[in-house]
Amino acid sequence: MTRHWPAGVLAGFVVLSAAIALPATAADAPKAAEQGTSEATAADASKATEQDASKAKAKDASETTAADASDAKAKDASKAQDNPDADAQTTEDSDAAQTSRRFDYNRVVDKAEALAAKPYSEPPKIPQFLQDFDFAALDQIKYKPDNALWHERQLPFEVMFYHPGSYYVHPVKIHLVTDDGVGEFRFDKNRFQYPNEDLRNRIPDDLGYAGLKFMHELDTPGKLDEIASFLGASYFRALGAEQHYGLSARGLAIDTGGDKGEEFPAFVSFWLVRPRPQARTVTAYALLDSPSAAGAYKFEINPGDSTVTRVEATLFTRKAIGKLGVAPLTSMYMWGENSLARLDDYRPEAHDSDGMLISATNGEWLWRPLRNPQKLSMNQFSADNVRGFGLLQRDRNFDHYQDLDYEYEKRPNAWITPEGDWGKGHLELVQIPSDSEVNDNIALYWVPNDPVEAGARLHYAYSIRWGKELASPASLAHTTASRVGRAAVTPGQPRNTIQVAIEFEGGELGKLTDPGSVQPRVNAMRDATINNIEAVRNPHTGGWRLTFLVPTDSLKTPLELRAYLAGSDGGALTETWSYALSP
Shared domain for 189 and 249, answered yes or no, is yes
Residue 191 in any domain: the answer is yes
Question: Is the dihedral angle over the CA atoms 454, 455, 456, 459 positive or is it negative?
Answer: positive
Provide the residue range defining the domain that includes 532.
478-581
Direct distance between the N- and C-terminal alpha carbons of the chain, in angstroms, rounded to an integer: 35
Please say whether the beta carbons of 29 and 382 come within 8 A.
yes
Shared domain for 190 and 256, answered yes or no, is yes
Percent of the chain with pLDDT over 70: 82
Output b/e per residue, 378-393; b: 16+ Cβ within 10 A: bbbbbbbebebbbbbb
Shared domain for 47 and 100, answered yes or no, is yes
- Gap between the Cα atoms of 436 and 343, Å rounded: 10
Shared domain for 108 and 134, answered yes or no, is yes
Neighbours of 342 (CB within 10 A): 14
Shared domain for 488 and 459, answered yes or no, is no
Q: Name which residue leads in pLDDT, 49 or 571.
A: 571
Shared domain for 278 and 345, answered yes or no, is yes
Write down the pLDDT at residue 49: 42
Write down the pLDDT at residue 67: 36
Shared domain for 461 and 494, answered yes or no, is no
Shared domain for 396 and 435, answered yes or no, is yes
Residue 47 above 60 pLDDT? no
Shared domain for 501 and 558, answered yes or no, is yes
Residue 70 in any domain: the answer is no
Per-residue pLDDT, averaged over 316-323, amounts to: 97
Last residue of a domain, one of 467, 502, 526: 467
Last residue of a domain, one of 404, 439, 467: 467
Residue 4 in any domain: the answer is no
Write down the pLDDT at residue 341: 64
Question: Which tens digit of pLDDT belongs to each residue from 531-540?
Answer: 999 999 999 9
Please say whether the beta carbons of 88 and 185 come within 8 A.
yes
Q: Are strands 324-331 and 365-369 parallel, antiparallel or unpaired?
A: unpaired
Instruction: Indicate the DSSP class of residue 85.
Output: H
- Gap between the Cα atoms of 394 and 146, Å rounded: 37
Question: Which tens digit of pLDDT belongs to each residue from 350-362?
Answer: 999 999 999 999 9
Query: Which of these, 60, 38, 45, 48, lies nearest to 5 by C-alpha position?
Result: 48
- Gap between the Cα atoms of 291 and 506, Å rounded: 48
Supply the DSSP string of 350-379, one letter for each residue. Answer: EES--EEEEE-TTS-EEEEE----SSEEEE
Lowest mean per-residue pLDDT among 118-122, 232-236, 555-559: 555-559
Please say whether the beta carbons of 293 and 317 come within 8 A.
yes
Residue 552 in any domain: the answer is yes
Write down the pLDDT at residue 51: 38
Distances (CA, A) of 371 to 139, 239, 290, 356: 32, 24, 31, 11
CATH number, domain with residue 573: 2.60.40.10
Shared domain for 242 and 149, answered yes or no, is yes
Instruction: Indicate the DSSP class of residue 150.
Output: T
Residue 308 in any domain: the answer is yes
Distances (CA, A) of 158 to 51, 216, 239, 282, 410: 19, 7, 16, 10, 24
Lowest mean per-residue pLDDT among 23-27, 70-74, 125-129, 385-389: 23-27
Lowest mean per-residue pLDDT among 88-92, 266-270, 417-421, 440-444: 88-92
Neighbours of 90 (CB within 10 A): 9
Coil vs helix vs strand at 481: strand
pTM here is 0.86
The radius of gyration of the chain's CA atoms, rounded to the nearest angstrom, is 25
Per-residue pLDDT, averaged over 50-56, amounts to: 39
Write down the pLDDT at residue 61: 36
Question: Which tens digit of pLDDT belongs to each residue from 508-530?
Answer: 999 999 999 999 999 999 999 99
CATH number, domain with residue 382: 2.70.98.10
Residue 472 in any domain: the answer is no
Residue 67 in any domain: the answer is no
Per-residue pLDDT, averaged over 126-136, amounts to: 97
Per-residue pLDDT, averaged over 163-179, amounts to: 97
Distances (CA, A) of 176 to 273, 340, 384: 6, 52, 39
Question: Which tens digit of pLDDT belongs to each residue from 329-340?
Answer: 999 999 999 986
Shared domain for 410 and 485, answered yes or no, is no
Query: Which of these, 260, 223, 90, lies nearest to 145 by C-alpha position?
Result: 223
Please say whether the beta carbons of 257 and 1 come within 8 A.
no
- Gap between the Cα atoms of 519 and 379, Å rounded: 28
Write down the pLDDT at residue 495: 82
Domain count along the chain: 2
Shared domain for 491 and 460, answered yes or no, is no
Last residue of a domain, one of 467, 499, 527: 467
Residue 65 in any domain: the answer is no
Residue 177 above 50 pLDDT? yes
Residue 238 above 60 pLDDT? yes
Supply the DSSP string of 6-40, one letter for each residue. Answer: -S-TTBT-B---EEEE--GGGTTSPPPPPP---BB
